[in-house]
Structure 1
């Protein structure tokens, strides 16, 4: 009997398979098994125990395990062979050459369809707003006239969670909506606006639409470099947009010391600071804000969509009263504010411990994916900047050539020029990591292979 037949005849004992499993949900089981595959502890062709055996070992329903198997099958990590059972189908198994070298390289799969440009969500990690929406609807007085004021519960949540005491609060549909409203108040066409050397796609889109002159500031692991900001202030910008944590795509985290240094540069300057905190609930790093020292010149925008799902399209805006109050006046005239029903639904979700647990698990899982791709790239000698984030910023010789080559292999990544200036953009690609499950090694190998080919 050869090795494959022996593996097929003797499935892994269910208790051995689930040993060390910390989260007995469908996604938790799938993640655990996929991790064993990625670590080489379950090799290609290994026969898995039956759904009922795993369910009994974990004391969960068979449906939970069956769902986990479906998730693994969708990720092409396992295959079913009818009555013969379910087997590991490892896309990231080491090649003989790299195995002899002791490396953790991945084999390039024949097909790999991944969209690593647009944001994605794991279905099991998106909180269901339905129960909270129904409860919010029952609590409202439907004949009352709504205003642009922030719902009481949401305002309490903001004051409790804000890194500084906001002079005023408003609520918008998203960070993009908030930035567009702020820009219409303080940025005239042709005004200079300081942003990070590579900033979020939303920031680029809004500022371009307002015909602002975008001035890009070099960054390090703690965000904008203070000396570079001071040098750029000679151009008399009207606005500065920065990301305090989970920066897209640079993944930097602004420390309290860096926030103080930047505030020291900007004190007594006629410039407004907008902080884009769009993944606050997913971040493990604390929030450091220039508003601690410049509350009258800072507006923090906290978008909830990335953590609470695409149906929760809302952002809280807090900070400088002259700006935020004018935003609310415009909202009153145009009616362009989220209704009380949506606000109260979000407030109830923010206070629900079960929702908080789901968001915490999402933060852990997305952080793991970012770190896994980071480590896989390092194994190929590629270093990416940052501390934590939802995207990586990879230097290449020719971004356009790399993007085309990866697209031919079934992987969509973003051109650096979409979020950075011409020079830096031509030499970088942006890779969103939330859609990665256990393809990190394969993606890293493909990327470094195409990176080398493009350079040649």
Structure 2
């Protein structure tokens, strides 16, 4: 495509104006797939704008799947705009019927989830059912969650799962192009969410005690509008933030205005206590606690509690759509949280999950594969070669998640993420599974990667 030809059709030489005109040309078929666009510099020169303005327009078009840039061909049109897709989350792989063991999806064991019949029956008699009043959180659910909240929350909201809570907080805190700091590696869906919002992701490296102070200090120099991290049960690495580490991170955040988003993805199933910055920064800390893995995915409930302004922004944004979370589901969760039998069952589940994770980690360690981490429903396994390890596991009927899915940039080291919640409790079967994982990780039995 000739730069002068395109420039003639652009009336408003802003990033939005450039993107809008090119979108219209692609939609109407004037510009077809595989058309190579002019260089950023060439179009900027014709429009008499900065290269950054054109680059911003290209970034917007790329985010909506209309163009792609590679070194060999330059920037090429792909086609009309498409719905943004959670690429990392959907990149699981399909191996037909050969796979007998699924270690890719970190879902809870149905046998360890509480029954819902009594809870739903009790919730069906909740007050104000079928009332269109938009209730952020039912009084019964707030009364059930508030005693265990790690700091006095200024605002409360029930949402449709933990990822929705984090997404809405980031979406209401950041404009496209803003920066958000997030620990790395981190949950694949969080990366998908941030890329879809259109923010710049600033990675913060971690160790077994959580985000590294030096890495956060470097990230804060980019002036992110928010810092998102998992204080315990971190996916994929399984670390838990210690009080000492939390104090170090809080000292760095003290002089900033950065919103602090704490993602408690497994809640009561974590073997670590919640360490929160909410008591120190009540006006800019929000905790998102999910109850899907502990009390049932079909409840689709997470509670957002913390800074009043941040929670209110989420409430306002939700009013364009669902408006509020079903009172039946909210009170069903409240019933489960108040029920002594359910609480005992969740404690048993926590112990069972911790035992399964620890036993596989011990088996792998005995074979020269050291995983690290101390909490969560997954293991972060170092491997010599990620694609080869995945193929080896698939050949033995085992699926796993590639570690590259959980990082932002180039992979510094190869890993697999293995879900441990549904592992076998049979020692012999577990030993056989560990043999195969060690073979995939090292290329031989017993040799460290």
Among 432, 436, 449, which residue is 1:442 paired with?
A: 432
Deviates more, 1:437-446 or 1:279-288: 437-446
1:162 aligns with 2:149: yes
2:337 aligned residue = 350
Q: Which residue of 2 aligns with 1:218?
A: 205
**Among 348, 354, 369, the residue aligned to 1:361:** 348
For 1:300, what is the secondary structure of its paired residue? strand
Decide which of 332, 340, 349 is 2:319's aligned counterpart.
332
Q: Secondary structure at the match of 2:224?
A: coil
RMSD: 1.9
- Counterpart CA distance in 1 for 2:226 and 2:431 is 41
The one of 205, 208, 230 aligned to 2:195? 208
Q: Distance in 2 between matches of 1:422 and 1:313?
A: 31
Residue of 233, 249, 273 corresponding to 2:260: 273
Count residues in correspondence.
346
Change (3 A) 1:440 1:326: same
> Shift in Å at residue 333 of structure 1?
3.9
1:162 Cα deviation (Å)? 0.8
Q: Deviations over 1:229-267 (max 9, x none)?
A: 011111111111101111111111111221111111001
Q: Is the 8 A contact 2:155 2:308 kept in 1?
A: yes
> Could you tell me which of 404, 428, 433 is aligned with 2:415?
428
Whether the aligned pair in 2 keeps the contact of 1:175 and 1:315 (CA below 8 Å) is: yes
- Find the aligned partners of 2:111 and 2:120 in 1 and give their Cα distance: 19
**Matching residue of 2:441:** 451
Q: How far apart, in 1, do the equivalents of 2:198 and 2:387 lie?
A: 26
Partner secondary structure for residue 143 of structure 2: helix
What whole-Å deviation, never above 9, does each CA across 1:305-352 have from its counterpart, x for those lacking one? 011122121000011111101211232343342111111111111000
Give a deviation string over 1:68-95, Cα, whole Å, max 9, x none.
xxxxxxxxxxxxxxxxxxxxxxxxxxxx
C-alpha distance in 2 between matches for 1:443 and 1:216: 33
What is the deviation of 1:142? 3.6
Give me the whole-angstrom Cα distance separating, in 1, the residues matched to 2:109 and 2:418.
17
Measure, in 2, the Cα distance between the counterparts of 1:425 and 1:435: 29
- TM-superposed deviation, 1:361: 1.0
Q: CA deviation at 1:174?
A: 0.8
User: Within 2, Cα distance between the matches of 1:425 and 1:156?
Assistant: 45
Corresponding position of 1:401: 388
Query: Contact (CA 8 Å) 1:259, 1:288: kept in 2 or not?
Result: yes
Residue correspondence of structure 1 range 52-451 to structure 2 within 5 A: 113-142=100-129, 144-424=131-411, 427-437=414-424, 438=426, 439-451=429-441
Q: Is the 8 A contact 1:399 1:416 kept in 2?
A: yes
C-alpha separation between the residues in 2 aligned to 1:331 and 1:365?
36
Return the TM-score normalized by structure 2.
0.74
User: 1:374 and 1:395 mapped to 2: Cα distance?
Assistant: 12
Query: 1:146, 1:339 within 8 Å by CA — same for their partners in 2?
Result: no
Q: Distance in 2 between matches of 1:138 and 1:156?
A: 17
Give the superposition deviation at 1:121: 3.0
Determine if contact 1:394/1:429 at 8 Å carries over to the other structure. yes
Q: What secondary structure, in the 3-state scheme, does the structure 1 residue paired with 2:358 have?
A: helix
* CA distance, structure 2, for counterparts of residue 294 and residue 281 of structure 1: 23
Q: Deviations over 1:9-63 (max 9, x none)?
A: xxxxxxxxxxxxxxxxxxxxxxxxxxxxxxxxxxxxxxxxxxxxxxxxxxxxxxx
Q: Distance in 2 between matches of 1:295 and 1:208?
A: 28
Ranges of 4+ aligned residues in structure 1 off by more than 4 Å:
none
Segments of 5+ residues of structure 1 without an aligned counterpart are 1-110
- SS of residue paired to 1:356: helix
CA contact (8 A) 1:418 1:425 kept: no
Q: 1:414 to 1:425 in 2, by over 3 A?
A: farther
Matched residues in 2 for 1:281 and 1:390: separation? Answer: 12
Q: Distance in 1 between matches of 2:106 and 2:224?
A: 31
Q: Greater shift after overlay, 135-144 or 369-378?
A: 135-144
Counterpart of 1:36 in structure 2 is: none
Instruction: Output the CA distance in 1 between the equivalents of 2:324 and 2:128.
Output: 18
SS for the counterpart of 1:311 is helix
Contact 1:349 1:355 in 2 (8 A): yes
CA–CA separation in structure 1 for the residues paired with 2:109 and 2:178: 40
- TM-score w.r.t. structure 1 length? 0.72
Contact 2:226 2:261 in 1 (8 A): yes
Please give the per-residue CA displacement for 1:132-163, whole angstroms capped at 9, x wherever unaligned: 11111123344533313210011122321111
Q: Conserved in 2, the CA contact under 8 Å of 1:417 and 1:425?
A: no
